[in-house]
Structure 1
Amino acid sequence: MNKLKYIIGGILLLLAAGCEKDTEPTNFAPKLSTGEASEIYRVGATLSGSVQKSEGILVKECGILYSTIQSMAEYEEVKIAAEEAASFTVSLQNLTPGTTYYYCTYASSGRSIAKGEVKTFTTIANSAPLFNSLVLEAVDEQSITLSTTLKDEGGSEITVRGFCWKLSESDDEKEPTIADNMANVPLEQLVFTSKIKGLEPLKTYLVRAYAVNSIGVGYGETMTVQTKAATIPILAAITEVNSTPLSVTVESSVVSNGEMPIQEKGFCWSTENEEPTTAHIKKVVEGDDETFSLLIDELKPVTTYYIRAYATNALGTGYSETFTYETPLNFPDLDVTTVTEVKPTTAKAASVVISENGSEVTEKGFCLSKTVEEPIIENSKIVVPGTTAAYSVVLTNLESGTTYYIRSYATNSKGTGYGEVAEFTTAVDIGETIVSDITDTDASASAEILTTSDHLAITEKGFCYSSANAVPTVADTKKVSSKQGNDIAANLAGLTANTKYYICAYVVNEKGTYYGAVSEFTTQKGVTIGNTFVSDITQTSATASAEILSDAGREILEKGICYSATNPDPTYADKHVTSVAEGSLIAAAIEGLSSNLKCYVRGYVKNARGYHYGKVTSFVTPSEKAGEPIDLGLSVKWASWNVGASSVEEYGGLYGWGDPTGTATGNGPGVSAGGEISGTEYDIAQAKWGDSWRMPTKAEMEELLNKCIKTTATRNGISGLEFTGPNGNSIFLPNGGSREGTKIVFQGIYSYYWTGTGSSSSHGYTYEAYCMTDGRMGDDDCTSGFSVRPVSDFVTVGETSISGISGTGASVSSSITSNEGLAIVEKGFCYSYLKTPTTDDSKIVSVAGGNGIEADLSDLVPNSQYYVRAYAINSKGGTVYGDKLEFITKDEFPVGEAVDLGLSVKWADMNIGASKPEDNGGYYCWGYTGMWSDYYEPDIVNTPEDISGTQYDIAHVKWGGNWRLPTLEQINELLSQCTLFWTNQNGVNGLLVTGPNGNTIFLPAAGNRSYNLINNYGTEGRYWSSRVYSFSTGNAYCLFFSDTAEGTKFLARAIGFSVRAVTD
């Protein structure tokens, strides 16, 4: 029996040894210790243990085994590194709340496993939230920034979370709770962090995280934090003092100045940045008060504004916490109503919807009332359709002379907004002004007030009138009416004859001045006297005549001619001669004159109203006896003898060309007159014989040679040439020879006769002139002394007057004073800024009727001297000129348009001094901005190397703004980047410049000006740059072009070139 027991026991021992794999072999025996569970919460806990290895023991794995089964037949492993086995902790997570767990330490050699003591813990059921450690992110003088993470939300949804804090006042202070201060963290915010603001500098605060769920409030660990000391100013939180829909008044105070005095304080705000700084919009608040406030207005509707108070000291700028203000939806804002075009029954009202204030305007218009000073839509409204912000309407059916109150309105979903009230009074309704009994100086006017006058309280009424202002006012001439009631009547006196007047009735009351419609009337012609003609001029007498064109219906008591040698506007009080001619003719002989006397003369008429005068003309008595005018059937009449002679056979004097004194042996002053002296102050014939005579022009001398029969002849022993005209009349020209210095040669052998036309010039001076040499045309040196045979015109032209001078134009007038029955085929004015003008220069044909010559000159160059004279061409082909008149255009320069060629600067569309792109404009010396004068070397001032935009820049001085001369680089850019094409534009040669963008400008080939000559006009262009030529300051760079080449050159800056300006 005992033997059987031993056998069975041995078998059981063998079975046990073969089935239990975790049984530790005798050589694997580490010392295992299982620690207590800690930090047990709803879904986790912290476990600890240790594995102590004996020498030679191999441990490949170790850690904690845990299970919800007490026998731990099934378990989970938490491995640790072998080197940490001596003492370790592990955190279990994702456990089941309210559950008992079994755990132990374990170690494994890879083949066998050893376990320590099995212990147990139970997780907590649903609880308040739990937190991980609190992290201090930042701290300054007024704030603390903290962050943390939730360890466990406690098994139910968190409803509120954040941080709570309080000021630490003692060592045994209780921990902060939500009953103290809180800073909530939005649940949707991914990071659990917050900046606690509004703290005091250098204070200790207790702070911890909190969260609330259905179980209760959970708190994290408490942290003690001290704020920093204040170096920059500290400001209190902003409070709202007052607000309107589009404004808010905010207030703050300085808690601490920091370590330095405050230099500036105020408020800053933004609609985008939630923490605005002074780099955004700011407004400084003046004063030293700690508490300060500001009205922030003109805000936009339905907009969030972030506002902070700030204060700045030497160490920096401190800010308050951000105050947020959101403007609400509001009714529209409107501008004040303007009322214009006020008439008796109509007026125009206009306004603007300044802002819809967040809601679309559904209706707008005007409220109008005669009695309510602040009308609203319930009183009376005029709806204006449309969607534009600006709107207007013509008010109709108004009562005249009545005061109205009007303001604009607009309605949106919020309500109706109104603009400021405007007050206006409709005009008094005044009937048409009727003018009657019109004479040359008087008229009667009448009108009627159509508005009921009961409420008008009229203080004055009458008529205002003007010959210049088409809409006269009481600021013009006025005549007050003394009529009672609604009638207005007055007699107008002192009017100007033959003048158009504008007139209207007016009424004045306390509301203002009101006008009726404008009427027009023209006074009758007064006494009008035509041009004065002077003939039969001798050294001591002349005959003057004129015609009475209108007697104004009044009896003429006396008529005649008044004249003076000193008064350019002679009157009856000067010398006068009574005319006994019948009818409308005034004619009288003027006696007792002296030789070489300039006399002013005009017709006069006397009636009951006084003296009336015609236009003034003048004449000069000859200094010597003139020959008789001989009509050869040519365009002019030729004198019967020479200047200086007293009979047909006498040689007369030998005169240098251009010497009106007849005494010079060298050049006379006429050599600088520009090439034509016939009929000018340099004409010896006119100087000696008077205004009726002059030197023949080259064309008139050629006409004598070509149209007359020339024969040699002898008169009383004097040889010469006889010319017989187409009509059979003839003249004799003696062979007077010539004078060389003081020596007379070839007298009695050859004939030399000057014309008034120069042939060759240099530097502005004429050194040779055309002459007839022994019956042939030629030319000779101006210092030579030749004979002069004067000519007289069939037609004479009076003096030229000028008015309306502007920068680019002027009005000129003259008249034909006699024509000897010849038809005038053309008349007008010729003008030039170089010399005495002829019809070969610029001219304008006059279309004035009768003997008048009138025209408007245009396209002149500003700030330039011009010469102008009237001309007339008769049916014989003769051209006669009036006296030369000089004038200077105003310093008023038209400014061109800027053309973008796609370059670095914009180029002007026309030259300086021009009126349109094809005009030459002025010719200007480099660095000189004054009016052109005939000099060779202007003062070489010490200008900068580049004068663009300086006081020496003609473009900048005359056009202003950013206009200036182009630099040399800008000219080269034009040449290299643009397409250049020689062309003709509106009859003017020049260069068409096309920029990279396709836009174009035209540069006329204006040539250049040297002295009083224009050179190379139409064949080349020269345009100044702003750069002086540094190697020779008497030169400067310019743009040069012709039909074959373009480029830049440096040329003498004293020469007149064109200028084309540039701008940005």
Structure 2
Amino acid sequence: MKKTFPILVTVLSLTVISSCKTKEIVPVPPTLDTITVSETTFASVLLSCAISNVGNQSISDYGFVYSETNATPTLADSRIAHGAVSDPNVAPIKFSDVVKGLKPSTNYFARSYSVIASGTIFGPVMTFKTADVIQPAIKTDAVILVFTTSAKLRGIVETKGSFDVSEYGICWSSTNNLPTTADSKSGKTNISVFPTIYTVDATNLTPNTAYYFRAFVVSNGVTTYGDALKFNTLAITQPTIKTLDATTTSTTSVKINGVVESGGNSADITEYGICWSQRFSTPTTEHSKAKIPDSITVFPKTFSVNIYSLNSNTEIFYRAYVISNGVVSYGDIKTYKLETEGFPTLTTGNATYISATSQKLYGTINTRGNYAITEYGVCWFYINDFSNTLPITCISGASIQGSPTAFPATYSIDATNLNAGTLYIYRAFVVANGITTYGNEKTFFKEANPN
């Protein structure tokens, strides 16, 4: 009994001492969930996470860390920080961020973190890959029209891709079977609707030549091409022309007909007509010609020209011609002899003053010929430029219907409404069997008062 009491006292003393000592707090770190990855593009991603348990220590910062090369990213890598947790009693704490400025088609490592007094706590590592950059889809579609030196080509921008389109069009080459924009091209800008069908004109081509072409589109500095197609420019063909018959219109003139049968494809027609010679058997436009300086839109085009001041009873060589792209094309050469036998002969007489605006003009039918005369008279035309060659046709005139009864027959015509101070050319004429025969050309100067 004496030994039991001291032991009891010792136990009680130890109990009292133990109950008076401060109780230690065991630190509990935050708990971070696994990152969720969504909305991945070629340059960004949405990262989401939560602090499911804040623990029992103050969180001075939390967020995400990520890296392209570090499989366990730390605060020394790229980071998105949210700062201190303001209310540690609320859990879970959800947070998310769009990470921008990433590289396309690249693997990244990411994890969440929280900073407490004892250090940095990290969540599990998650890997993700950014999306591939998608280029616009382009198609080389067709050749719409082909000419000698140009062609209309078509392409289709089918889809937009990841970036805006800065240019699209067609490129072509006669030597490169996979043409690029470094070759010839025709481009467009401003596209907002997909798919877009478009055409371009390939110009300055060489006739009768094979060309390769393909559509292209430029986006984010990258050029994408469609398949290469091929076409041949047309060979140059000149207009075709035919020489037709001639008919006598007077003892010194004929009417000659021609027809431009087709226009060719080299260029627009600038001139056509008849060339002739009474000396050379192969007439050209370097000899005499009657031209029509006009274009033609409808084929075939039949035309006729009058040729004057020919030598009677002399054969004429003639052929039709047409000029296109500076090249002269000819029809067949034909010959014709004026039918002068049996027609009347006549002489242009003098002119006498009547008044300030009129003049009496004379003519003489020397022989009647073999045909009935239906009309005779005088025609005239004024000339203001004395240096010019006198014209061979008249635009004003007066006539007498019927026929004289005796030959030679001298007659006169009053030319009226004349202009004083003007030089006039005139000549007598007679119509027999539908053919007009002219006398020699003469002139007079119209004076206001001969005195």
One fold, TM greater than 0.5? no
Which structure exhibits the higher relative contact order, with contacts defined as CA atoms closer than 8 Å and separated by 6 or more residues? 2
TM-score tier (shorter): 0.3 to 0.5
Q: Larger radius of gyration, structure 1 or 2? A: 1
TM-score between the two structures when normalised by the length of structure 2? 0.35
Structure in which a larger fraction of residues adopt strand: 2
